[in-house]
């Protein structure tokens, strides 16, 4: 599987005519429309105007983990994305995913500085080098939390495929990617899974 093939499957979609505005600093956002109560609530939800804003250095967003949650799963399957050596093992050591169950993807990330606009999660699933599924889910726009803690977002419920044909496909390879409206990539990694009758 080439990186070129993955990139073709993982292009963010935008509404026709979408134009991203000029990037503004947190201080510039804080000064905009100070008397607009609704806008001030929105700015506060992004951490704008909070004391102790971080200096702009390093990546704007650090993706910490991706988890699979299901009411049928005894414990969440958590992929630690903070250690590149560990991330490499996720492709070689497939997870077992129970067929025909509802699950959620949960993404944990930290905004280090500034405002990230239109953060989205995408993945492409391949079996035998053929793309069998693609997903693009909007995460949203975020700023740094005043206490420096991470954001955790649960994506909409999905259902794993099932049946003898799906199980017979063997190992599925997933390329996951997290980008923003500027197409800035904050994480891209591969992991794999097998469909089984039980977790």
CB contact set of 153 (below 8 Å; sequence gap of 6+)? 106, 107, 109, 139, 140
- Domain extent for 178: 3-8+82-196
CB contact set of 102 (below 8 Å; sequence gap of 6+)? 70, 71, 157, 158, 159
Q: Is 44 helix (H, G, I), strand (E, B) or coil?
A: helix
Judged against a pLDDT cut of 80, whether residue 142 lies above it is answered with yes
Question: Confidence band (pLDDT; 50, 70, 90) for 16?
Answer: low
Q: What is the pLDDT of residues 58-99, one digit of tens each?
A: 899 999 999 999 999 989 999 999 999 999 999 999 999 999
pTM of the model: 0.78
Name the residue with tokens 């026709």. 16
Q: What CATH number should be reported for the domain holding residue 155?
A: 2.70.50.30
Domain-embedded: residue 122? yes
Domain-embedded: residue 17? no
The token pair at 52 is 């102790």
The token pair at 170 is 């063997």
């Amino acid at each position: 599987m080439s990186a070129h093939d993955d990139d073709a499957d993982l292009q963010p979609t935008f509404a026709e005519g979408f134009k991203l505005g000029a990037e503004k600093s947190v201080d510039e956002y804080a000064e905009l429309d100070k008397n607009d109560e609704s806008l001030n609530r929105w700015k506060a939800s992004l951490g704008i105007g909070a004391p102790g804003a971080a200096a702009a250095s390093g990546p704007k967003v650090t993706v910490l983990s991706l988890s699979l949650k299901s009411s049928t799963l005894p414990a969440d399957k958590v992929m630690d994305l903070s250690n590149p050596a560990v991330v490499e093992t996720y492709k070689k050591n497939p997870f077992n995913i129970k067929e025909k169950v509802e699950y959620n993807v949960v993404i944990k990330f930290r905004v280090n500085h500034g405002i990230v606009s239109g953060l989205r999660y995408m993945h492409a699933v391949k079996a035998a080098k053929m793309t069998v599924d693609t997903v693009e889910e909007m995460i949203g726009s975020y700023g740094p939390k005043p206490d420096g803690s991470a954001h955790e977002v649960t994506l909409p419920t999905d259902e794993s495929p099932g049946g003898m044909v799906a199980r017979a496909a063997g190992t599925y390879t997933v390329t996951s990617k997290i980008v923003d409206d500027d197409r800035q990539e904050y994480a891209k990694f591969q992991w794999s899974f097998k469909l089984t009758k039980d977790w």
